[in-house]
């Protein structure tokens, strides 16, 4: 297992940079989506709603990649390839409220009808970075 450096984890956790997440469809083709991204210091953490197709893909095949690009400098980025090691609803709503503070400057997050928040933790197997040691 590869570990994120403190600066890499902070880049994911403290800055409102969006990521492109790639999961694999049933036929093996990649499915890409832009998402908010976070880190718990060890894992890349995503907060998805229960309607996302990528969630089904990740449950079936845990191999994913996540590319996060600095919102102010596209030549500063962090790429992580890894495996989904946990999918849970525990703490997911509180987490999305915290993400709304970072990304939207709001202290609330309104759920849509039938929406449930899901936390996805990804264990890095490979990390590549530019200007983030």
Structural domain includes residue 33: yes
pTM score, whole prediction? 0.94
Structural domain includes residue 30: yes
Number of separate domains in the chain? 1
Q: Which domain holds residue 125?
A: 6-130
Which pLDDT belongs to residue 133? 74
Which pLDDT belongs to residue 132? 84
**Half-sphere CA count of 108, side-chain side, radius 13 A:** 3
Question: Could you give phi then psi for residue 85, rounded to 5 degrees?
Answer: -110, -10
Q: Whats the size of the chain, residue-wise?
A: 133
Report the CATH number that the domain containing residue 67 is assigned in CATH: 2.30.110.10
Per run of 10 residues, the mean pLDDT along the chain (length 133 residues) is: 92 94 97 96 96 94 97 95 98 96 92 94 97 83
Query: Both tokens of residue 115?
Result: 């929406």
């Amino acid at each position: 297992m590869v570990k994120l450096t403190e600066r890499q984890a902070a880049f994911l956790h403290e800055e409102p940079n969006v990521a492109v997440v790639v999961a694999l469809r049933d036929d093996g083709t990649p499915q890409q989506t832009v998402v908010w991204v976070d880190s718990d210091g060890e894992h890349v953490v995503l907060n998805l709603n229960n309607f996302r197709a990528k969630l089904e893909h990740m449950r079936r095949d845990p191999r994913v990649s996540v590319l996060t690009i600095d919102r102010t400098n596209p030549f500063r980025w962090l790429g992580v390839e890894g495996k989904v090691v946990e999918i849970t609803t525990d703490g997911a709503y509180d987490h999305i409220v915290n993400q709304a503070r970072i990304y939207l400057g709001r202290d609330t997050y309104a759920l849509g009808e039938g929406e449930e928040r899901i936390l996805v933790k990804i264990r890095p197997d490979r990390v590549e970075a530019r200007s983030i040691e």
